[in-house]
Structure 1
Amino acid sequence: MTSIWHIIYIGGIFMTAFLFILLISKSKKNTADKILSVWLFFAFFDLILIGLYGSRQIQKMPALFGWEMPFPFLHGPFLYLYILFVSGQQRHKWLYLLHFVPAVTVTMILAFVLPVAIVEYKEKYYFAREYDTLIMVLVAGFMISGVTYIILSFLLLRKHRQNIIGQFSNTEKITLNWMRYLISGMGAIWIVVIFDPNPAVFFVVITLFIFFFGYFGIQQVGIFSHTRPTHEVLPLNELETAGKILQGDVTPELVEKVKYEKTRLEESEASHIHTKLNTIMNEQKCYQDPQLTLGDLAKILDVHPVILSQVINSKEEKSFYDFVNNYRVEAFKELLVRPESRQYTILSLAFECGFNSKTSFNRNFKKITQMSPSAYAKKQQITLKAEG
């Protein structure tokens, strides 16, 4: 281990401890925060063992030799559960403990094996040759575990993105970079482990990931800070439960879960909400608010957000995002033909209708009309002020 990497390694250990302290001192910790804090706790000790393993100093420490092997079985489950809870997709909390069965099993195996598997040679400790197969199985096991949980975490992220579209009318300012970087960083580590299992390289990559993890985590609002995120997403399980109620698939357990709704939402009631929704959208022009959310609209209608979501899905056959942006596009088309609009640019008219970015406006307009805004204006023989 060169001096520069020795400094980086020590810095990584201190960074892990610092992030752990930041997290446990955070007020009003949710379950995702607790999962992340426990993950950092184990990561702290894992980083120490990885450094000892990479520098081969662990071969001089029989009490620690071999105990670095259970930790790789922890990181995949912690990543998956953190993404699960931070995105609101959890269902059965206690069943998730089963994800840690492999790590516990490996720990129990090592507790019996290590006392007899370690041999000394020239004041250094090694595994006896007859245990090579066991070590190879454990290494293959945590590689499979790592890759599997990376894939599962990406699937959770994809589902979370769909959930956001169902609750927000503008998504440009809702960043999923923190989760994306976290999953990608873990994925990079497993790629290194699989293609270059050199212990020294492994500990360097892990250490760099800790700095990467800390940098983006501190930048992301609400991860290590006391500030609440600007955008909060309703748990996906609540939306799915409401969907079962609307379809008539009701059990006492579901009714208990959905406190706001004691009986199944009848078709007539859904139609009433749908009519009231379109009336309010036309009269109050709620779509002009670029920050409009499912929760905001539900509050105006005095219904629960999950009920409103299912009404929009079933009656409009659209997500909340598409529903609101369809209104914005239609409002833009109406505004475009007014003579007084000639003094404005296309983008300023789009902002007037509730869009909050040029990218969002162009994408949604083309999705709905099959042409760009400028092409549509040209087709209508309308010339607006050029963009400055």
Structure 2
Amino acid sequence: MLSDWRVIYIGGVFISLFLFILLVSKRKKSTADKILSAWFFFAVVHQALIGWYAFNKMSDMPALIGWELPFPFLHGPFLYLYILFLTGQQRQGWRNMLHFIPAVLVAGLMAWVLPLMPVAEKLGVVPSKFAPLFHVMVGGIMVSGVVYVILSLYLLRRHRRNVAVQFSNTDKITLNWLRYLIGGMGVIWIVVIFFESAASLYFVVALFIFFIGYFGIRQVGIFSNPPPAHEVYLPAVVRPEEPVLAVEKTTAADTDDSSPKVKYEKSSLTDAEAARIHAALTALMQEQQCYKDAGLTLGDLAKALNVHPAVLSQVINSKEASSFYDYINVLRVEAFKQLLLQPASQQYTLLSLAFECGFNSKTSFNRNFKKITQLSPSAYVKAMHINMQEEG
């Protein structure tokens, strides 16, 4: 049984190496790609040490014993920083390097402690006087793992909110890749905390590498160059911190019915400029019907209007009393209702007409239509006494 497990350990090493080569050979690597490449480099080394332990080769090279301890302190920071940069939530500066201080400190301690330990002590043949130090390190590894899984979940939650700001259709924007990474890391740390078996830990780590490889290769853009995408801006660009576009936050205690707060009172955008942008936006929608593009983003419209995406978002919020997502889907619903009135449309199904108007899924169409009209599409058609083609 153990030999079968060893094969999986070695397989994890080669899969890690293969994924690392794919990432390094990827053209036009983003910062997130570079972080993932560095992560897989250290994963290869870590997996090699795991395989070395699995085959009980410690006595052949006792100088390597103990050097596996700094690596677990790297995986949490790499996961967090990868998600941070992939989702565009990073901040400028050198502070991101602070996440690696625990790994550097542990490596420094190992450089000092390990030369002082005889081989028998490293192999566990005799008790080690440094045992309390190693227990502290193992505890630190557990704390690090849990903390960074929680921080990564927070980033994922915040990114999910950011997606709704920029995209007109969100149903097919999957966050599975990030969920797999965080979930896999969570399972590993559960094994670390609740199971004392080293074999179980090595087995789960190897399976996690296989898991990442399989889903990462299937996910377009992770290990290969993504196809041309719609114009998407980082959340920091959509909601910048510059005073010119700052938004004043108010609480319920600050709100007075007699003197209501203006949502964008700190913005330098004048009413005249906002009206001009809104008129241009309305004309663009009427002439080009951009809402029919299922992949339309806030960045696409901002680029077409030659305005900052945060300014456009502000104009839509103030002039339409709506978010970008709701604004576009209202236009799609109105276009659908107009399309229903055309006799030639009765030979098509409701869903095919919805796709023609820019919706990209039945779920999204039904949800938005009922939200806007208070009726389901089929109930609306029945109320209008229109005979439509049955859904296939």
What CA deviation, in whole Å up to 9, does each residue of 1:130-173 have, x standing for no partner?
43332222112111111111121122122222222222222344
Which stretch of structure 1 is more off in the superposition, 12-21 or 308-317? 308-317
Match of 2:372?
Answer: 368
TM-score (norm 2): 0.86
TM-score (norm 1): 0.87
Counterpart residue identity of residue 372, structure 1: S
Distance 1:226 1:14 in 2: 22
Shift of 1:79: 0.4
Match of 1:101?
Answer: 101
Secondary structure of 2:62 counterpart: coil
Which stretch of structure 1 is more off in the superposition, 279-288 or 201-210? 279-288
> Does the aligned pair in 2 maintain the 1:248–1:264 contact within 8 Å?
no
Shift of 1:66: 1.4
> Does the aligned pair in 2 maintain the 1:46–1:71 contact within 8 Å?
yes
Which stretch of structure 1 is more off in the superposition, 45-54 or 227-236? 227-236
Distance 2:336 2:50 in 1: 59
Distance 1:345 1:87 in 2: 37
Q: Following superposition of structure 1 onto structure 2, how do residues 267-282 of structure 1 map, counting pairs within 5 Å?
A: 267-282=271-286
Which stretch of structure 1 is more off in the superposition, 65-74 or 359-368? 359-368
Aligned in 2, Cα 1:65/1:71: closer, same or farther, shift over 3 Å? same
Distance 1:127 1:278 in 2: 79
Shift of 1:85: 0.8
- Find 1:298's aligned residue among 292, 295, 302: 302
> Does the aligned pair in 2 maintain the 1:59–1:125 contact within 8 Å?
no
What CA deviation, in whole Å up to 9, does each residue of 1:340-370 have, x standing for no partner?
4333321122122111221221122223234
Secondary structure of 2:120 counterpart: strand
Give unmatched runs, 5+ long, in structure 2: 249-266
Counterpart residue identity of residue 219, structure 2: Q
Match of 1:62?
Answer: 62
Match of 1:190?
Answer: 189
What CA deviation, in whole Å up to 9, does each residue of 1:241-265 have, x standing for no partner?
177523479xxxxxxxxxxxxx943
> Does the aligned pair in 1 maintain the 2:298–2:313 contact within 8 Å?
yes
Distance 2:125 2:244 in 1: 60
Q: State the number of aligned residues.
A: 374
Match of 2:137?
Answer: 138
Q: Following superposition of structure 1 onto structure 2, how do residues 41-52 of structure 1 map, counting pairs within 5 Å?
A: 41-52=41-52
Secondary structure of 1:58 counterpart: coil
Match of 2:37?
Answer: 37
> Does the aligned pair in 2 maintain the 1:274–1:315 contact within 8 Å?
yes
Distance 2:323 2:142 in 1: 38
Secondary structure of 1:52 counterpart: helix
Shift of 1:128: 3.6
Q: Following superposition of structure 1 onto structure 2, how do residues 1-388 of structure 1 map, counting pairs within 5 Å?
A: 2-58=2-58, 61-117=61-117, 120=120, 124-125=123-124, 128-228=127-227, 230=229, 233-241=232-240, 244-247=243-246, 264-388=268-392
Counterpart residue identity of residue 154, structure 2: L
Distance 2:387 2:176 in 1: 39
> Does the aligned pair in 1 maintain the 2:349–2:388 contact within 8 Å?
yes
> Does the aligned pair in 2 maintain the 1:298–1:308 contact within 8 Å?
yes
Could you tell me the percent identity over the aligned residues? 60
